[in-house]
Structures are given as C-alpha cells and as structure tokens.
Amino acid sequence: MIESSLSQMGAALRAKKISSVELTQLYLDRIAQLNPELNAYITTRPEASLAQARAADARIAAGTAEALTGIPFGQKDIFCAKDWLTTCGSKMLHNFVSPYDAHVISQFNNAGAVNLGKTNMDEFAMGSSNETSHYGIVKNPWDKARVPGGSSGGTASAIAARLCAAATGTDTGGSIRQPAALCGISGLKPTYGVVSRYGMIAFASSLDQAGPMGRNAEDLALMLNTMAGFDERDSTSLQREKEDYARDLNKPLNGLRIGIPKEFFAEGLGSDVAKAVEAAIAEYKKLGAVIVDISLPNTRLSIPVYYVLAPAEASSNLSRFDGVRYGYRAPAYTDLADMYEKSRAQGFGAEVQRRIMIGTYVLSHGYYDAYYLQAQKIRRLIAQDFVEAYKHCDVIMGPTSPSTAFKLGEKGDDPVQMYLSDIYTIAVNLAGLPGMSIPCGFGDNNMPVGLQIIGNYFDEARMLNVAHQYQLATDWHSRAPQGL
C-alpha cells in the first residue's frame, strides 16, 4: 500500500479494502521504527492522528469522502496547526502550541486528510541542508551520512522513507525543489499567491510560497487541488477561478517547446548532475518535445539579490519574537531591552541571527538605496529574463541543484558555499514563477538527481502534465532507498 499513488490509496479507502485507521497505524509504526534515526519528524501525536483517521472512516462510510479523505500526510512544522506544537525548527518556538490552524492545514482537515506529524526543517526555513534545525539534523534515507537538503528536509526525508503518503513544504529560495531533488522525490512550488500564507510562519513574505511534495506528479496535482485557492486572510492571495490541476496530466507532449538556459549548464554544475539532466532532456525529445536554446543572463545575480531581499524581509518578520506574547523568554535579565536581547540571542540559532543581522544592516539608515532598492530593481531584471524566454518556449528545464546530496557537516562552517547551492532555484522565487523538481536519475555515490521544470505564471497544470508524461515513460520516481 505504501507504494500506491494517492488516487490508488483514496480508491482503496473508499472501496473499504483498507481503513484510514489501518493506513494511519501502518505509517505510525514506520515512523516509530525509522524516525529515531532519520529525525524527519519533530512532533507526532498518534492519538490525534488516529482520531482524524476514525473521523475519515466515518466519512467514507457515510459516502461523503473526497479525494484525500483518510490519507495520512506529514505537515512541515512551519504551518500552525491547532493544538500541535509548532516550532518552525527553532528553540524560539519550543513551547508554542498553536491556538489556530494555518489555511493549508484547514484545507487538508476539511478534505478529511490525516495529519501524521510535523516534519523537521531548517530553523525558520533558513538553510539548504536541514542542519540548522534546533531539533537535530535530518538524514537522507538514500545515504544516512548525507543531508536531505533544506529547508523542507524533514518532509523530503519522510516521503523518501515512506513515513507518509506525501507531505507539505514551503519554498522561499528553493526549499521545496532542492530537498526534493536531493531525496529523489517530486515537489512543486506554485506561482506566488496561489496558496495562502495565512498561518505559515513568515520568513521572506514576498517570496514564501507553500506547495506539495510527494512521490510523483499525479499526487502533487491532487494535493495542489486541495491547497490552492483564494484566502482573504493573506493579503497577497490571488483571486482566481478554482482550477483542476490534474486536468492536463494525460495530454501528449508533441510539439512542447522546452527552453534550456545556457547559464544553468555553465561552470559550477556537477558533471554527474549534468549527465542525468541531459539524459532527461533526451527522453523529452523522444516524447515529442522540441528543444529551444534560451538565455537567462541575470541568473547569477539572483544570489546577491536574494541574500539582500530575503534577510531584509526576515529581519522585519522576526522582530515579532520578543519574548513577550509567546515563545522563548530568557530565564534571567536586567531590564526590558536586556530581556529582548537575551531572549532573541538564546532563542535564535546562528544562521537565523546571521540573516537578521544582514537584513538589519541593509535596511539601516544610509544603506537602503544601495542594497534593498538596488536588489528590488535587479529583481525586475531577473523576472524580465523569464518574460523574454517564454516568448520562445513553453517550459524551462535544467538542474535543480548543482550537486547531489552533500555530506552532513560538509558546508556547515561556510555560509557562502551553502548559499551558492541554491543558484538554480532562487531566480524562480524572485520572479514569482512556479517551479518543480522531479527525480531524473542518479549521480556519483548513487544519490538522486533532480530535474527542474520552471513554468510560466499559473502554468502549474502544464508543468504537472510535463512531469507526469516523463514519469509514465521512466521509473526514477518509483525507486526507493534500500533497507527501509
């Protein structure tokens, strides 16, 4: 059952071949057995999960089940979930039991899905290796000496190890796509504004976007149907017609124009990754696609721009953590300012403090124009590169990450090296475009390689079609790590 797609699981549940309680217990048993080593989940509440499963079984018996009713999902610990400890990977929120549900959580609850637990993540989603979590590193199920990627590393590890049917992620600079690539699973970051950010703990508000992560494109389409939609509680949520993201899955790819940006295959790309991605592109040609050479000339500027804009927005968003209304407060202090300073210094980890400092600096008096404003202007140049490219192609493809999963601790001391691992994903967030990663082979050390598919605005259904057709022709997405 754990290798079944979400639609197969849903059908089995509705046909009463298995109950949601049985399916949930199956995953809870796997979590109990494997999570102590992988550390993919921060919090599980088996009784709460089983109560949801019983409610789902009742709904199935009553004949009012929807596509996801009774299916167990993991939820990234960035989403507030009522009565669940919601830490965002930080000591700052070590005791934060959320009094309310994020929009994404409500959507899953309303669909009758089961919440299996809160998945581990880099602290406040700041990281590319899941090594900045206060709740310990997460291991990559393909090689437990390697990172799962980040920041949605717990989600990616849990899916690869079959510790959930699928799970949620969020992506500010690549945090869905990079861990999906490194753990050999599929993940989609929708167009900015498609999924509500309400109750999703803010990192960089103009870039943050939630999305589905799972074993295949078809599963992502079903999840996105549940996650997407207008929500008035998020001021940047887009008012659009509801769409069925699975509607185009079975369209043939004849004549599809795939843009290949030369900047994605330049210096810095691992030769093993390049080989797997080129083989995937060759497969697309067999499926009838046409290759178009394109250029995204400002790609390399996306890293400096991102490391101004994201920390600037983060320093503002994280100013709310002051030890007064919720979260961590230092045990000893002299006055109010000392309480703020000690609570924040003790509650935030090193990477979060580093980014708050960068953000504070670039927003401070005398530097705003040179950094923040200049970065916002270059952001538009980066977005215009894509507008130009989409005059000549339907989707853009390239590697998701320059390398396969690196070793735990390998980049821990060098923030600049860590930042550079997001070179192919960040521009997509800056432009607000949808991007996804699907498995397309294995590199050195038999670690998974991800193919990135970047779509035009609101083109998620086409991207899912493009991914699904590849997954019908190949079996990379159904490979599972051994020994689990």
Partner 1 sequence: MITYQPYLNKEFAMSLSTQDVEKVARLARLAMTPAEIETARSQLSGIFGLIEEMQAVDTKGIAPMSHAQDVAQRLREDKVTETNQREAFQAIAPQVEGGLYLVPQVIE
Residue 175 annotated to the active site: yes
Angstrom distances, CA of residue 5 to CA of 67, 110, 157, 167, 481:
12, 21, 18, 13, 17
| Shortest Å, Cβ 183 to partner 1 | 19
**Rounded to an integer, what distance in angstroms lies between the CA atom of residue 464 and that of residue 177?**
14
Distance, CA of 409 to chain centre: 22
Biggest alpha carbon–alpha carbon distance for the chain: 70
Among 8, 95, 250, 446, binds partner 1 (CB under 8 A): 95
- Count Cβ atoms below 10 Å from residue 351 Cβ, excluding itself: 18
> If binding is defined by CB under 8 A, does position 338 make contact with partner 1?
yes
With binding defined as CB under 8 A, does residue 420 bind partner 1? Answer: yes
| Sequence letter at residue 129 | S
> Binding to partner 1 by residue 412, rule CB under 8 A?
no
442 lines the binding site for partner 1 (CB under 8 A): no
- Check binding of 232 to partner 1 (CB under 8 A): yes
Q: Closest distance between partner 1 and the C-beta of residue 196, in Å?
A: 13
Q: Using CB under 8 A, which of 134, 146, 197, 379 touches partner 1?
A: 379
Residue 250 or 319: the one with the smaller Cβ distance to partner 1 is 319
- Burial of 265: CB neighbours in 10 Å, binned 0-12, 13-18, 19+: middle
Burial (CB count within 10 angstroms: exposed 0-12, middle 13-18, buried 19+), residue 442: middle
Q: Indicate the helix (H) or strand (E) that contains 76.
A: strand 72-76
Under a CB-based contact definition with an 8 Å cutoff, are residues 119 and 154 in contact?
Answer: yes
Counting contacts by CB under 8 A, is residue 85 touching partner 1?
no
Q: 344 and 315 in contact (C-beta within 8 Å)?
A: no
Residue from 19, 20, 49, 76 carrying the catalytic annotation: 76
Residue 105 binds partner 1, judged by CB under 8 A: no
> Which parts of 301-320 interact with partner 1 (CB under 8 A)?
301, 303-305, 307-308, 315, 319
Residues in contact with partner 1, counted by CB under 8 A, come to a total of 85
CB of 268 to partner 1, least distance (A): 4
Cα separation, 122 vs 80, in Å, equals 16
379/372 Cα distance (integer angstroms): 10
Nearer of residues 73 and 386 to partner 1, judged by Cβ: 386
d(CA 131, CA 412): 8
Choices 24-32, 143-151, 168-176, 349-357; region in contact with partner 1 by CB under 8 A: 349-357
Cβ of residue 290: shortest distance to partner 1, in angstroms?
28
Q: Which of 133, 175, 196, 315 is catalytic?
A: 175
Which part of the chain contacts partner 1 (CB under 8 A), choosing from 23-31, 33-41, 333-341, 447-455? Answer: 333-341
Residues 303 and 419: beta-carbon distance below 8 Å: yes
| Closer Cβ to partner 1, 91 or 344, answer by number | 344
Work out which of 109, 376, 472, 480 binds partner 1, going by CB under 8 A: 376
Identify each DSSP E strand in 91-214 by its residue range: 114-119, 166-171, 186-189, 209-214
Distance of CA 458 to the CA centre of its chain: 18
Stretch near partner 1 under the rule CB under 8 A, chosen from 15-23, 32-40, 121-129, 321-329: 321-329
* 128 lies in the binding site for partner 1 (CB under 8 A): no
C-alpha to C-alpha distance for 15 and 17, rounded to whole angstroms: 6
Q: Is the dihedral of CA 22, 27, 28, 34 positive or negative?
A: positive
Query: The tokens of 226 are what?
Result: 């549940």
Site residues for partner 1, window 235-254 (CB under 8 A)?
235-236, 238-239
Nearer to partner 1, 423 or 464 (CB): 423
**Which of residues 1 and 85 has its CB atom nearest to partner 1 in the complex?**
85
Stretch that binds partner 1, among 32-40, 73-81, 171-179, 350-358 (CB under 8 A): 350-358
- Within residues 129-168, the interface with partner 1 by CB under 8 A covers none
C-alpha 68: how far from chain center? 20
Q: Which residues are catalytic?
A: 76, 151, 175
